[in-house]
Structure 1
Amino acid sequence: MKGILDRFEGDKAVILVEDLEKEIIVPRKELPDGVEVNTYFTLDKDGDTFQIVAIDQSKTDSQAQKSSELMEKLRSKKKGSKFKKQ
């Protein structure tokens, strides 16, 4: 099962679980060192609890690349403002 680190709320981390369309909240200190928002995880579910098994670095990198390419595409289409500067 996959999850993505959506945001931090103080000392808590909010992870979105894609397959279940569910949001889980874990203490920030339980996350692996060096994780940032938009990091993907492989998760195990045991009853009502979730365990982070590993960081899915390949999915994290591929999604970051897609996002970067989309931003570049949007920037290249920008033609400037239709309003005149004074």
Structure 2
Amino acid sequence: MKGVLDRFEGNQAVILIEEEKAELILPKEDLPVGSDVNTVFQVEKDENDNYKIIEIDHKAEQEAKETTQDLLAKLRAKSSGSKFKKK
């Protein structure tokens, strides 16, 4: 399953696991090197219902970036400018 690094709260990282509607909170130093907000991780749940980060999911990150860029491009193409007159 996938988890996304949502935010940092002090020295803690908050990872959202949408599929399970759960949060994983752990110390920043336990994150894989190169982790930042919006980093996508492969996460697994053990027999005690504890979540563990397996690795950064670079493919899912790239797909999310491309989707965001596509949406922004569509919004920009639709925009006809401001409705207010310029003086």
Counterpart of 2:28?
28
Where structure 1 has 5 or more consecutive residues not aligned to the other structure, the ranges are: none
User: C-alpha distance in 1, partners of 2:77/2:36?
Assistant: 28
Counterpart of 1:60?
61
Where structure 2 has 5 or more consecutive residues not aligned to the other structure, the ranges are: none
User: C-alpha distance in 2, partners of 1:48/1:11?
Assistant: 24
User: C-alpha distance in 1, partners of 2:32/2:84?
Assistant: 48
Q: 4+ residue runs of structure 1 moved beyond 4 angstroms?
A: none
- Percent identity, aligned pairs only, is 48
Counterpart of 2:39?
39
- Summarize deviations over 1:19-57 as a string: whole Å, max 9, x none: 111122111111011112211111121214211111111
User: C-alpha distance in 1, partners of 2:7/2:81?
Assistant: 32
TM-score, length of structure 2 as denominator length: 0.89
User: C-alpha distance in 2, partners of 1:83/1:76?
Assistant: 19
- Cα RMSD for the two superposed structures: 1.2
Counterpart of 2:75?
74
User: C-alpha distance in 2, partners of 1:68/1:8?
Assistant: 24
Paired residues, what number?
86
Q: Which amino acid aligns with 1:12?
A: Q
Aligned-partner SS, 1:44 = strand
